[in-house]
Structure 1
Amino acid sequence: MNSDLYKAAAKGEIEPFNQLAIDRQLGSLVTHKKNTVLHVKIIASYTQNKEAESVSTKFVEKILEKCPSLLLQVNAKADSPLHVAARYGHAAVVGALIEFAEKQPGQELESGVKSTTRYMLGMINDEENTALHEAVQSGSLDVVKILLEADPAFPYSANGSGETPLYSAAARGHKKISAEILEKCPLAAHEGPNGKTALHAAVCSGSRGVPKLLLDVDEKKSLTRERDRRGWTPLHYAAYLNRYFISKCLLEADKSAALIADKDRKMTALHLAAGQGNIWMVQEIIERCPECCELVDDRGWNVLHFAMVSFSIRQLKYLLNECPVFRNLIFEKDEKGNTPFHVLAAVCPHPDNAGYDIVPRKIAKGYYQAVNKQNISVEHINRYGFPELEKEIKELAKADGNGQYPAGVIEMNKEKEEKTVIYSYWKDLDEDVIGMEKASEYHLVVAALIATVTFAAAFTLPGGYKSDTEDGPNRGTAILSKNAAFQAFVISDAIAMVLSLSAVFVHFILSLKLFKRFIFLFIFALSFTLVAMAAMIVAFVTGTYAMLATPSLWLAIVTCIIGLTFFFLVIFMFYMVISKAEEMEDED
């Protein structure tokens, strides 16, 4: 097709084509992708307004009058003009194509004569899509209506992806299109890929309207029990994806669906809801079908095992107090003999069992001492951990991307993750505590020495005291009491003594078993000692200056400079440590 004719087709100008009166000539005008003048005009009209669409319809009608064979001529992707018009939502053009097809003689096939309209509706492209598939995927309700009215009894099958038009509409959450298909074709095929049905797809789309539409059709109500290749019912997907209101519709239509387990792990919708921490959905399923609580997965886990991982302590306490069926599961064991509280201890351990007040004390005693087949109790796990069970739970929590469990079989409650991190911190403290105890001994000596020196300095003041022989109220007071440097000496000396004695006190209580794990106290003591050392240097410098400034100012200044080098040495040391740490990090 030359450029002039291409531009004319795109603009809808019929005059350049009037000279091509022979059908064969018009049919041979194609682009590199084998698009005919009809394809070109329909594609070019995609972004045009209503007025331009009217021009497109007239152009289509006139071209078809000149060359009727263009109606069924396909491009390189096997798209007929009807496919393209349906894909781009050109309702008026679709109507014109169908109207023209109804005037044409039937198509002779091996199975007999089929009307041109039905033949055109059944044409498939390289993706095995019919025009109705294309209209549904593009979300064009007007085109869908026209196509369905053209032949309501047409048996639309699945495309190359295994999707029927009804499935495609449900998967995209197109409520009005789904309603139109169900109204015109109540028996429309609902199959989809991997054994899924339109109801599975509607649940996954998150649309609340489409599942209700399907369940309102008597012929589709049985879809609640249909399982895909994984063995998942629509209720499984609702539970896993936290579609609470959709799950209510499904349970109202057929509560027995809650008893169906999948093929892989023998998990019911209740197990999935509990594993994902969906407490409201768990309550809804139990209220509708209490007996499903008795079901276990392939490892023997019941709903409470899953809840122990995914629910917060507060939620667990609420469920165990408000739902009697949950309390009956407390001592139920899985295949390895682990009770739900073994699982709780593994995901949220605590050596003193604090924070586990989710069952009455009498019951708590029993579960705390319960042992599994390896003779490991809940108390043991709380204090020492249980790597085997912890690893199993972590595997269940791993996401597998686009697999059956994209967010993992279970989702660990964030509150418990934080508590687990804290407990891991406590478990790893033993070696740190031993090192802290040794360091504390040395620090205690330093702090005590500073306290002794500063205490003595307070009563051996620089400059001495006023003579006892002097009369008046100032007898026995410091001679340099009004000197600014002396005043700084007294203040810094007091600070050094208070902080060093505080450090001594902290090291003393750290020697007690009750406080030995409180490393932050050790850090406080270290900080007190360091500041006390700095204050002692200041006391030395100011006291020396107060005594030497009058008789020998240069000696006072030199002594002060020498004393202050302590701070420069400390700063230099920290600088070297930081530099070395950065070098080591770069090497790693």
Structure 2
Amino acid sequence: MDAKLYNAAVLGDIDFLVQNKDKLVDESTPNNNTVLHLVSLLGKGICVTEILKMHPLLIRRVNSNGDSALHLAARNGNYDVVQELIRCAKSLDKEVESGIGFDKVIQRMRNECGDTPLFDTVRHNHFDVVEFLAQEDPKFSHTANNIGETPLYIAAEKGFDDSVAVILEKCTLPGYGGPCGRTALHAAIISNGAVSTRKLLVWKQSLINERDERGWSPLHFAAFFGRAYRVSQLLTVDKSITYIADNDMNTALHIAATRGEIDTAQKIILDCPDCCEMVNDSGQNILHIAFKYKKSNFAQYILRNYEAISATLVTQKDVDGNTPLHLMAASTCFAPLLVDHAMVDKNSFNNKNLTPLDLIEESEVKVHPVLIKNLLSAAGATLGFRNIRSIEEKDQDPNPLGKDKIREEIRKIGDSYNIVATLIATVTFTAGFTMPGGYHQSGDLNQGMAVLSRKPAFQAFIISDTMALLLSSIAIFLIFVSLWIDNISVLAKIQEHVASLILAAIGAMMVAFSTGTYVVLGESSALAITTCVIGVISIPIYFSNFYKIFNGIFNSDKVI
């Protein structure tokens, strides 16, 4: 395009454009944008009017991307330009082929992506332009573009509630499909749009039953993302959707179990408690799935709050003959309520003739399964001894390198414990010879004795400091002994004891600090009490955080 003509379009120089009207049709940029494209993109409304007076058919011209001037104006939200383009198009004769006005023709033109101007303006959230275009051509359905999107789907997916509302209000039969076989209602649930969800359900209630390519209904997505309020919204309309299963026969409740979404599951079970009986194509119920995906908190919730339901679930076997207890034993998470459940057969055999305890024994032993194994054994679980071949194969140790790696990982943990235990021992040993308050000086009857030895707080300091030193020393000794042990189970057990000893030593050290500080600040009672309280409060905080971390280990996907 001629540089002067280009600059005139950018600056909105009407006089120059009028003087060079003969060039307006032939001149274009490398991307085939005409002068009309440029002024429409930049919102030069007056220039648009003058250009269309001189060359009205430029309104049909498209660039290399298939975009008309209306596409660019709509994309940039240039409301005045969009109005002017539509007004000018209405003044032209009807198109001979389609028999509709030019205003409808340019609104229905699709670019290389399959987008009409309405797609572009919805995508960029220009509500005034969306409203104008929707009411100008209400009967056009705006079917899907090249990637399966429709304007209504885009608006719902992006959470543009106003655009969703105006399309539903103005358009007679708007397209509502999206990629992967989804609908605008799927998109509204994914974006957590309360208003869009409500309006779509009022407009077309049957959307609630439509499934995407995976077989997921809107309720599946609400369960997956933990949208408890959306679940309530959907179930208020139709409770039967709870029983819709996807291509793998997973219901929304199964999906909630994979994600550990307790609030979502609660709402589903409240409305349809019998849906808990449903199993997927692997024969797995929600407890199977919870353990498969390491969501022990979810399993604990079901076991604790739904006694009648749990009585059935705990005994069900999947297609491999595994009960929920089998899957718990094979995972790294743990649910005490399952082990203690009266209906659980702790020695049930699966299709491979393995009990839950067998599953732990035949696997390469890890730290957490050792804990589960001990708890199962305490609850009465035994080895099955049906599958002798698997026991023989295990005794042959076909994968010594795998066990060496596990052994190495356990020793690395021991190294970390050793550092912590040594630091505690060093600090507490030093504190034992640096008594709070000092010693009686020479000449005193009690020369060399601790000055504050008769104070109860001092005595508490000595006892707790000694306990911390003793516990940390035992931990160091156990770590030292473990250097000569190769048995993985024994190593794992030692690390459990070491962790407990260090935990107790830290608690004792905090008590020693609090009481030692208190005894030397006796004259400043307020400061002494404050310091002591802070120190004591830190102990339950420390233990509660340790519990959260320890509990999180059982629910994490990462294993040692």
Q: Assess same fold via TM > 0.5.
A: yes
Aligned to 1:169: 155
Contact 1:274 1:303 in 2 (8 A): yes
Displacement of 1:244 after TM fit?
2.3
Selected match of 1:230 from 214, 229, 237: 214
2:535 is matched with: none
TM-score by length of 1: 0.62
The CA deviation at 1:154 is 2.2
Q: Is the 8 A contact 1:313 1:358 kept in 2?
A: no
Report how far residue 184 of structure 1 moved. 0.9
CA offsets 1:158-201 (integer angstroms, 9 cap, x no match): 11112121112112221110111011125312112232111122
Paired letter, 1:136 = V
Residue matched to 2:368: 419
1:15 aligns to 2:15 (yes or no): yes
**Structure 2 counterpart of 1:244, which letter?**
A
- Superposed CA RMSD: 3.7
Shift of 1:357: 3.4
Amino acid at match of 1:357: P
Structure 1 residues 289, 104: CA separation in 2 closer, same or farther (over 3 Å shift)? same
**Alpha-carbon distance, 1:358 to partner:** 0.6
Counterpart Cα distance in 2 of 1:63 and 1:259: 60
TM-aligned CA deviation for residue 386 of structure 1: 5.0
Which structure's relative contact order is higher, taking Cα pairs within 8 Å and 6+ residues apart?
A: 2
Q: Deviations over 1:410-458 (max 9, x none)?
A: xxxxxxx9835977999979x979xx9xxxxxxxxxxxxxxxxxxxxxx
Letter of the structure 2 residue corresponding to residue 270 of structure 1 = L
CA contact (8 A) 1:346 1:385 kept: no
Distance 1:83 1:421 in 2: 65
Distance in 2, Cα, partners of 1:168 & 1:92: 24
Deviation at 1:371, TM superposition (A): 1.8
Secondary structure, in 3 states, of the residue corresponding to 1:266? coil
2:83 is aligned to: 95
Give the deviation of 1:240 after TM superposition: 1.9
Letter of the 1:340 partner, please give it: P
Seen in structure 2, the aligned counterparts of structure 1 residues 432 and 84 have a Cα distance that, compared at 3 Å, is closer
8 Å contact kept, 1:305–1:343: yes
* C-alpha separation in 2, matches of 1:236 and 1:203: 10
Q: Which of the residues 94, 102, 105 maps onto 1:106? A: 94
Contact 1:57 1:93 in 2 (8 A): yes
Please give the per-residue CA displacement for 1:362-385, whole angstroms capped at 9, x wherever unaligned.
Answer: 716x42122222221123335x15
Q: Is the 8 A contact 2:329 2:369 kept in 1?
A: no
Aligned to 1:71: 59
Cα separation, partners in 2 of 1:138 and 1:425, compared to 1, 3 Å: farther
For 1:143-542, what aligned pairs fall within 5 Å after superposition? 143-185=129-171, 187-217=173-203, 220-263=204-247, 265-310=248-293, 313=296, 315-323=298-306, 324-348=308-332, 356-359=335-338, 361=340, 363=342, 366-382=344-360, 384-385=361-362, 419-420=368-369, 519=494
Q: Relative to 1, partners in 2 of residues 1:520 and 1:223: Cα closer, same or farther, differing over 3 Å?
A: closer
Counterpart selection for 2:107 from 93, 98, 121: 121
Q: 1:516 to 1:157 in 2, by over 3 A?
A: closer
Say which of 31, 38, 57 aligns to 1:40. Answer: 38
Aligned to 1:31: 29
Q: Distance in 2 between matches of 1:291 and 1:425?
A: 35
SS in 1 for 2:274: helix
Deviation at 1:287, TM superposition (A): 1.4
Q: Structure 2: how far apart are the matches of 1:432 and 1:228?
A: 47
Matched, 1:62 2:50: yes
Taking the aligned partners of 1:115 and 1:100, their CA distance within structure 2 comes to 11
In the alignment, the residues of structure 1 paired with residue 27 and residue 33 of structure 2 have an alpha-carbon distance, to the nearest angstrom, of: 8
Runs (5+) with no aligned partner, structure 1: 46-52, 350-354, 391-416, 437-498, 525-588
1:311/1:523 CA distance change after superposition, 3 Å: closer
Q: Is the 8 A contact 1:279 1:311 kept in 2?
A: no
Determine the C-alpha separation between the residues in 2 that align with 1:177 and 1:37.
31
Structure 1 residues 7 and 325 mapped into 2: Cα distance closer, same or farther (>3 Å)?
same
Determine if contact 1:171/1:204 at 8 Å carries over to the other structure. yes
Which residue of 2 is the match for residue 3 of structure 1? Answer: 3
Residues 74, 80 of structure 1: 8 Å contact kept: yes
CA drift at 1:314: 5.1
Find the aligned partners of 2:172 and 2:19 in 1 and give their Cα distance: 49
Once the two structures are superposed, residues 459-503 of structure 1 have per-residue CA deviations (whole angstroms, 9 ceiling, x without a partner) of xxxxxxxxxxxxxxxxxxxxxxxxxxxxxxxxxxxxxxxx99x97
Pair 238,186 (structure 1): closer, same or farther in 2 beyond 3 Å: farther
Secondary structure, counterpart of 2:205 in structure 1: helix
Q: 2:111 is aligned with what amino acid?
A: N
- Report Cα offsets for 1:524-554 as digits up to 9, x if no partner: 9xxxxxxxxxxxxxxxxxxxxxxxxxxxxxx
Cα distance in 2 for partners of 1:250, 1:26 equals 55
Q: In 1, are the aligned partners of 2:314 and 2:338 still within 8 Å (CA)?
A: no
Aligned 8 A contact 2:329 2:372 in 1: no
Contact 1:71/1:97 (<8 A) preserved? yes
1:123-172 deviations in whole A, cap 9, x for unaligned? 11111111101111111111101111212222322111121211121122
Supply the AA of the counterpart residue of 2:355: S
Find the aligned partners of 2:251 and 2:160 in 1 and give their Cα distance.
Answer: 28
Kept in 1: contact 2:294–2:331 (CA 8 A):
no
Counting matched residue pairs gives 402
- 1:132 matched residue in structure 2: 118
Contact 1:195 1:228 in 2 (8 A): yes
Cα distance in 2 for residues equivalent to 1:377 and 1:26: 83
Q: For residues 257 and 521 of structure 1, what CA distance do their matches in structure 2 show?
A: 47
Structure 2: distance between partners of 1:381 and 1:521? 21
Specify the SS of the correspondent of 2:96: strand
Going from structure 1 to structure 2, the CA distance change for 1:299 and 1:20 (only over 3 Å counts) comes to same
Matching residue's letter, 1:75: N
- Partner amino acid for 2:106? M
Change (3 A) 1:432 1:103: closer
The CA deviation string for residues 1-45 of structure 1, in whole angstroms up to 9 with x for no partner, is 2111100011111111222344xx3211211111111111233x2
Structure 1 residues 140 and 258 mapped into 2: Cα distance closer, same or farther (>3 Å)? same
Residues 91 and 20 of structure 1, relative CA distance in 2, 3 Å threshold = same
> Identity over aligned residues, as a percent?
35
- AA partner of residue 16 (structure 1): F
Whether the 8 Å contact between 1:307 and 1:316 is mirrored in structure 2 is yes
The structure having more radius of gyration, on CA atoms, is 1
